[in-house]
Amino acid sequence: MYLTEEEKKAIEKLSNERGTTQSNIIREAIEHYLEEVTLEKKRDHLMAAAGMWKDKENIPCS
């Protein structure tokens, strides 16, 4: 993986502040990103489904 000098310095600073490894900082960032992407996809699917049954008359209310 190639990082810019700025990215390397930021990761090094974070790892020093948190007392953890740079690898752990990168793993946490990837995990956070993947969680966000998953939530975004779920949100998109819910929004696409919203109102899809609103014009159906043969669906019981309860």
Residues 1-57: pLDDT tens digits?
Answer: 899 999 999 999 999 999 999 999 999 999 999 999 888 888 888 888 877 777 777
Does residue 30 lie within any of the structural domains?
Answer: yes
Task: Count structural domains, the chain.
Answer: 1
Does residue 28 lie within any of the structural domains?
Answer: yes
What does the pLDDT read at residue 62?
64
Q: Residue 13: which domain range?
A: 5-40
What does the pLDDT read at residue 16?
98
Q: Rg (Cα) of the chain, in Å, rounded?
A: 21
Does residue 33 lie within any of the structural domains?
Answer: yes
> Can you give the three-state secondary structure of 10-52, one letter per residue?
HHHHHHHHHCCCHHHHHHHHHHHHHHHHHHHHHHHHHHHHCCC
Q: Which two tokens stand for residue 19?
A: 């007392």
pTM, rounded to two decimals: 0.63
